[in-house]
Amino acid sequence: MSYERPSVKRLHAYTPGEQPQGGRIIKLNTNENPYPPAPEVLAELGNIDPHALRRYPSPMADEFRRVAARLHGVNPENIIATNGGDELLRLALTCFVEPGEAIGVTRPSYSLYPVLAAIHGASVFEVPRPDDWSLPGNFAAELNRQKVPLGLVVNPHAPSGRLSSVDELAAIANEFKGVLLIDEAYVDFVDPSLNHSTLPLLNQFDNLLILRTLSKGYSLAGLRFGYGIGHADLIAGLHKVRDSYNQDVISQALAVASLTAQQYARQSWQKVRDERARLAAALSQRGMSAPDSEANFLLVDVPGAGQAEVLYQALKQQGILVRWFDQPRLRDKLRISVGSDAENDALLQGVDQFLQAL
């Protein structure tokens, strides 16, 4: 017999991007960073004290919070360390949303949001993005009208890479009556000449929660380390509902080393931006354009009805994974992570092979 709650029985679990283990696969499907983590992170692996492993870790990730606070110009009580950004999303639902209430998102968005909502017994209220993937102007008003307690905006936007400005976000935080979570999973890849930073908004708004992760910008998707930055009251609430020791001792040590190695990280972001520009230009030359992206991926138009899926399959045959979404407005596109120069060359070659065979 089944013991699952009816809502769990109905649940469709999140489908992670394909994660083939080993082999000569070129993975441009899950927005991983093509460069390895900083040498300081790897060196830290050699410094782990065996007796630290047998003891419980710091329950609050104290040292990490100090380092992150210093980096962002806030206080440790404005920081919570989480098991990947995903845990922060779940904690925000647990802390701020009653089962039966809704979360507010733009459409399309990160496909994990509705899964987490369903697990929590919450529904999803979606406001469609305009054709240019910008933030809907009525987002806050619509969420208020629906009495939504938690709004989620991924910025730069996934899967388009479009960056919304700090002013737009400030306007939403100001108007919205619930907690606004800005999912900045990809913010490290924003061109620094844009001077984009939502951190100053923390001084103005007590309902703003910023999600960061080491998965992309710091090449540590394998480590599962994210964190939240927000008003001390929001953060205190999230601490109350997390598992009591949610981050292990090795992850805490490596996360500290990683955030500390800023110069290395910034160099990898610049390399990703350079390759992003090169890849976008090269694909555009081949008739496959993408909107301007400030993330480490491109949402590429594939001309010809049904051709995006065909190209996705053709690349897969060649050992190159990209992401195709079987969803309205996305079926004619591919989301391609920016890889290393060699990986991007291989992708372009794969695309050429496909075009020649047409």
Q: Which stretch binds a second copy (CB under 8 A): 114-122, 139-147, 273-281, 293-301?
A: 114-122
Q: Which is nearer to a second copy, 73 or 99 (CB)?
A: 99
Secondary structure class of 155 (helix, strand, coil): coil
**Interface with a second copy, residue 237, by CB under 8 A:** yes
Q: How many residues bind a second copy (CB under 8 A)?
A: 82
| Under rule CB under 8 A, residue 24 binds a second copy | no
Any contact of residue 57 with a second copy (CB under 8 A)?
yes
Determine the Cα–Cα distance for residues 172 and 106; give it in Å rounded to an integer: 13
Q: Choose between 47 and 353: whose C-beta lies nearer to a second copy.
A: 47
Tokens (6 digits) for 200: 């100053």
Contact status: 43 vs a second copy (CB under 8 A): no
Q: For residue 102, give the DSSP letter.
A: E
Instruction: Name which position in 74, 79, 97, 336 contacts a second copy (CB under 8 A).
Output: 97
Q: Which residue has the tokens 């053709």?
A: 314
As a whole number of angstroms, the distance between CA 17 and CA 20 comes to: 9
User: Do the beta carbons of residue 81 and residue 259 sit within 8 Å?
Assistant: no
The answer to the question of residue 112 lying near a second copy (CB under 8 A) is: yes
Distance CA 151, CA 146 (A): 11
Q: Which of 64, 74, 76, 90 binds a second copy (CB under 8 A)?
A: 90
Q: In angstroms, give the least distance from the CB of 107 to a second copy.
A: 20
Q: Toward a second copy, which CB reaches closer, 151 or 350?
A: 151
Contact indicator for 208, 176 with CB cutoff of 8 Å: no
Nearer Cβ to a second copy, position 14 or 165?
14
Nearer to a second copy, 169 or 221 (CB): 221
Give the Cβ contact number of residue 151 at 10 Å: 26
Single residue of 109, 251, 293, 337 touching a second copy by CB under 8 A: 251
Alpha-carbon span 189 to 211, nearest angstrom:
15
Task: Pick one of 23, 24, 26, 27: the residue that binds a second copy (CB under 8 A).
Answer: 27
> To the nearest whole angstrom, how small is the minimum distance from the Cβ of residue 149 to a second copy?
7
Segment 191 to 230, residues that bind a second copy, using CB under 8 A = 206-207, 215, 219-225
45 near a second copy, rule: CB under 8 A: yes
Nearer to a second copy, 54 or 356 (CB): 54
Other CB atoms within a 10 A radius of the CB of residue 245 amount to: 13
Q: Segment 293-322, which members bind a second copy (CB under 8 A)? A: none
**102 lines the binding site for a second copy (CB under 8 A):** no
Helix axes of 341-357 and 262-285: crossing angle, nearest 10 degrees: 20
Angle at 108 between CA 80 and CA 343, to 5 degrees: 80
CB of residue 6 vs a second copy: minimum separation in angstroms?
A: 8
Selection from 78, 44, 36, 93 nearest residue 212 by Cα? 78
* Of residues 186, 4, 10, 41, the one with CA closest to residue 110: 186
Binding span for a second copy by CB under 8 A among 73-81, 83-91, 288-296, 321-329: 83-91
Q: Which of 67, 182, 249, 299 binds a second copy (CB under 8 A)?
A: 249
Residue 183 lies near a second copy (rule: CB under 8 A): no
Instruction: Report yes or no: 282 and 346 within 8 Å, Cβ to Cβ.
Output: no
Tokens of 131: 């054709």
Query: Cβ(154)–Cβ(211) under 8 Å?
Result: no
Residue of 43, 145, 194, 243 that binds a second copy (CB under 8 A):
243
Interface with a second copy (CB under 8 A), residue from 51, 263, 281, 357: 51
The amino acid present at 106, given as its one-letter code, is T
Of 272 and 351, nearer to a second copy (C-beta) is 272
Q: Give which of 294, 313, 338 is closest to 30, Cα–Cα.
A: 338
